[in-house]
Structure 1
Amino acid sequence: MRSRRVVVGEGERALAVGVRGGVIAALLPYDDPAPAAERADLGEVCLLPGLVDTHVHVNEPGRTEWEGFATATRAAAAGGVTTIIDMPLNSLPPTVDVAALAVKRAAAAGKCAVDVGFWGGAIPGNAADLRPLHEAGVYGFKCFLSPSGVDEFPPLDEEGLRTALREVASFDGLMVVHAEDPSLLTDPLGPTYPEFLDSRPGSSERRAVERVIAAARETGARVHILHVSSASCLEPLAAAQRDGVRITAETCPHYLTLTAEQVRGPEFKCCPPIRDGGNRDELWDGLAAGVLSCVVSDHSPSTPDLKVPDFAAAWGGISSLQIGLPAVWTEARARGHDLARVTGWMSGRTAELAGLTAKGAIAVGRDADLVAFDDTAEFTVDVAELRHRNPVSPYHGRTLTGVVRATWSRGRAVTDDVPPSGLLL
């Protein structure tokens, strides 16, 4: 595949990318006459490394009407995402032991258009299951410090967190944490968005992050803070990173591109919530500084009936798996960031987080997960045309810049007329 704008390392180069057996075999000059069975010349259309989205709720089995492996992975491919890692909750059973992981893998088998890995879950009483799950191939463990929204995946208290972290540290695993302190959360005082926002203040995130930092410092475990929405978390995170605590953090497209002032209806509801425009600017600063290392979707869909017209009662989750790249690129380019930076946040750093050494870059020896991205084309989001299962999105009607023209998973074009060939990693 040839492009005058192949994103490699810190910039763009005119290259011919040679692929053999699903792996990148050579990076050659753009006009190199090397023989090939097939050729695709993208010209000025960018060739990016496939995105790695490490925060996706597929929900199958058990709540497959919310989403599923077939629909989620087709949406991923349409958005330039060639690897997802599935979260352990909202499916039934949750992935909290090896038997549940086997059920999840069986549900996914033969349905995935892109490669799929799995997180395990850390809940009260399952510390003994963490090492077996690690040995069975999960990429780490998710826990909540506040209620998760589903009864079968309860949160860890202070001692439960430390117990789980000590166990994870014993085999140098990774714990990823939904960090909101339940003592600072309240029930919304009414149905409006300002009332919902007040019920989940930024101070709850910051206090929970400080708790995780203390526990990671004590146990030596490697930890990662999920979906940071409050810029108040940046200061303690930066200080801990300077001190050598093994902690990283992510944010999401909706926190970087949407603001509380733009919220129209419950399709914007998520936990933690979308905050004001000044907070959004600070998150961009934290991302640029490296305090936040990556951007992931936190694709958390539901059926439309659960997105009822009431912010107090609606399900909290945003579906953005297919449109995360153009959403982030639209805002990033306006702020002076280039595509190499964006793919670093959404591919390189996420692959590094999960230890996916074959993913995350266009380089010899890596999987040929590639995306043709027209970075100047515009489109208006129409939920009816998105590939995830239920037509709900806060981006509906929003004009974005950047169109995914084609996606290759390990060298094979992902199209509707090709059977799904994604691997279970």
Structure 2
Amino acid sequence: MAEPYDLVVRSRRVVTASGERPAAVAVRGRTIAEVAAYDAPLDAREQVELGETALLPGLVDTHVHVNEPGRTHWEGFATATRAAAAGGVTTVLDMPLNSIPPTVDAAALAVKRRAAAGQCLVDVGFWGGAIPGNLGALRELHRAGVYGFKCFLSHSGVEEFPPLDDAGLHAVLAEAASFDGLVIVHAEDPRLLGEPAGPGYRDFLASRPALAERRAVERVVAAARRTGARVHILHVSSASCLEPLAGARREGVRVTAETCPHYLALAEEDVRGPEFKCCPPIRDAANRDALWRGLAEGVLDCVVSDHSPATVELKTGGFDTAWGGISSLQLGLPVVWTEASRRGHGLPDVVRWMAERPAALVGLDRRKGAIAVGRDADLVAFDTGATFTVRAEELYHRNPTTPYHGRTLTGVVRATWLRGRPVTGEARGELL
């Protein structure tokens, strides 16, 4: 007799790489052992019947600012990963800023890993940082296990993480190319940015024009073409970037790009207060529609949160002074599903954008991002028809501020499993 499976989850809407279908997902130990017919007679120690509630792979969010250590009062590993699990995210990659120290050498990575140890409810990996003066540290960081290197072309918002100029960008890409590392770029051209003329949103938007994004993307593409490096453009907010990205891919430049839930769900017309402030900024509705087309056509690969929280005090005042960052880690899946379903997209599209492609971007696609035999049994029960109204004070991230407060969303995460076990309050996440 075969040993019983540890867990079998049955749903009439299991989303696999081949589409959505009725299935039974069998788990043995930490991994998916079988994807069988919905009514297959599978022996298991625990059986879960979801019926019409969809079963998705755990989402992979490769753009999260946890901020611990150093700015743990902004966010932290315990609160961020609890919010992630509640939103169906089972793997997060932590950005090298706004923690202190920033993750720009192996010693700082060790500090970050010690801070995270024993606190994480989901799996956590780490990005390294590329700043002026740390070129010699990149290879060591790569060997120590970071998934790539983030850099800015404009001011990052914190003094300890300065931007690269053109020569610095070229040097970083050349160094990364020597060991096939990945460089991820906050692409806004500082020569086209200005200070807001006043505290209003239009002043802020005018200070960060779409052209600043496009010119920066063109600079990154040109440097990647010269060096052969792999590059990834972060949080594309301007549809004007789609043309140079598509052209670069046709030429064979190794460039990928992401956008974020707030650029797909919100528009300039929705902005009310500084909880909507982010860099690059939320633009108008026509631009938002064009981003959806870029996503559907594959010019944009991924949808990730860019969860960049701060204290309530820093998110007050005018758009000229408030901190720029959106808190949305717990809400990305329902935000995207609400908008995607209205536009004719299905769950397989959402899974491709929010699980499969982010996992592939960072080389985790042998373990994460799909319901398939041999993958980690990271699973999400998602009720696609249920609705809820967002209340900032009920979210799990540390500071109760979000632009989605009061907004009604469609889609509720009913349960999350990490490597075959339900995520509760126990910190079972691994450091990847």
Match of 1:2 in 2: 10
1:420 aligns with 2:427: yes
Q: Which amino acid aligns with 1:115?
A: D
Match runs of 1:112-127 below 5 Å: 112-127=120-135
| Rounded Cα–Cα distance in structure 1 between residues aligned with 2:242 and 2:349 | 20
| Rounded Cα–Cα distance in structure 1 between residues aligned with 2:270 and 2:54 | 31
Q: 1:98 aligns with which of 106, 109, 116?
A: 106
Q: 1:298 aligns with which of 299, 306, 322?
A: 306
Match of 2:152 in 1: 144
Q: Check the 8 A contact 1:93/1:100 in 2, yes or no.
A: yes
Match of 2:6 in 1: none
1:382 aligns with 2:391: yes
Deviations 1:389-411 (A, max 9, x none): 00000000000000000000111
Match of 2:382 in 1: 373
Match of 1:75 in 2: 83
Match runs of 1:257-406 below 5 Å: 257-356=265-364, 357-406=366-415
State the Cα distance separating 1:308 from its structure 2 match: 1.6
| Rounded Cα–Cα distance in structure 1 between residues aligned with 2:234 and 2:299 | 13
| Rounded Cα–Cα distance in structure 2 between residues aligned with 1:16 and 1:253 | 30
**SS of structure 1 residue aligned to 2:339:** helix
Match runs of 1:42-57 below 5 Å: 42-57=50-65
| Rounded Cα–Cα distance in structure 1 between residues aligned with 2:316 and 2:54 | 40
Match of 2:229 in 1: 221
| Rounded Cα–Cα distance in structure 2 between residues aligned with 1:27 and 1:331 | 29
Match of 2:4 in 1: none
| Rounded Cα–Cα distance in structure 1 between residues aligned with 2:110 and 2:276 | 34
| Rounded Cα–Cα distance in structure 1 between residues aligned with 2:199 and 2:298 | 37
Deviations 1:268-294 (A, max 9, x none): 000000000000000000000000000
Match of 1:19 in 2: 27
Q: Check the 8 A contact 1:85/1:117 in 2, yes or no.
A: yes
| Rounded Cα–Cα distance in structure 2 between residues aligned with 1:180 and 1:237 | 15
Deviations 1:290-348 (A, max 9, x none): 00000000000000000122100000000000000000000000000000000100000
| Rounded Cα–Cα distance in structure 2 between residues aligned with 1:291 and 1:368 | 29
1:61 aligns with 2:69: yes
Deviations 1:84-137 (A, max 9, x none): 000001000000000000000000000000000000000001111000000000
Q: Which amino acid aligns with 1:40?
A: V
Match of 1:168 in 2: 176
State the Cα distance separating 1:10 from its structure 2 match: 4.0
Q: 2:118 aligns with which of 100, 110, 124?
A: 110
Q: Tell me the number of residue pairs that the alignment of Structure 1 and Structure 2 aligns.
A: 423
| Rounded Cα–Cα distance in structure 2 between residues aligned with 1:235 and 1:375 | 33
Deviations 1:339-389 (A, max 9, x none): 000010000000000100200000000000000000010000001110000
| Rounded Cα–Cα distance in structure 1 between residues aligned with 2:52 and 2:269 | 37
| Rounded Cα–Cα distance in structure 2 between residues aligned with 1:33 and 1:353 | 37
| Rounded Cα–Cα distance in structure 1 between residues aligned with 2:241 and 2:19 | 30
| Rounded Cα–Cα distance in structure 1 between residues aligned with 2:168 and 2:28 | 48
Q: Check the 8 A contact 1:19/1:25 in 2, yes or no.
A: yes
| Rounded Cα–Cα distance in structure 1 between residues aligned with 2:36 and 2:299 | 35
**SS of structure 2 residue aligned to 1:31:** coil
More deviation, 394-403/12-21:
12-21
Q: Check the 8 A contact 1:77/1:414 in 2, yes or no.
A: yes
| Rounded Cα–Cα distance in structure 2 between residues aligned with 1:424 and 1:282 | 37
**SS of structure 2 residue aligned to 1:67:** coil
**SS of structure 2 residue aligned to 1:42:** strand
| Rounded Cα–Cα distance in structure 2 between residues aligned with 1:16 and 1:262 | 42
Q: 2:163 aligns with which of 143, 146, 155?
A: 155
State the Cα distance separating 1:193 from its structure 2 match: 0.2
**What TM-score do you get using the length of structure 1 for normalisation?**
0.99
**SS of structure 2 residue aligned to 1:177:** strand
Match of 1:208 in 2: 216
Q: Which amino acid aligns with 1:420?
A: A
Stretches of structure 2 lacking an aligned partner (at least 5 in a row): 1-8
State the Cα distance separating 1:31 from its structure 2 match: 1.0
| Rounded Cα–Cα distance in structure 1 between residues aligned with 2:216 and 2:25 | 45
| Rounded Cα–Cα distance in structure 2 between residues aligned with 1:2 and 1:307 | 43
Deviations 1:144-187 (A, max 9, x none): 00000000000000000000000000000100000000000000
Q: Check the 8 A contact 1:10/1:341 in 2, yes or no.
A: no
Match of 1:28 in 2: 36
Q: Which amino acid aligns with 1:391?
A: P
| Rounded Cα–Cα distance in structure 1 between residues aligned with 2:259 and 2:162 | 23
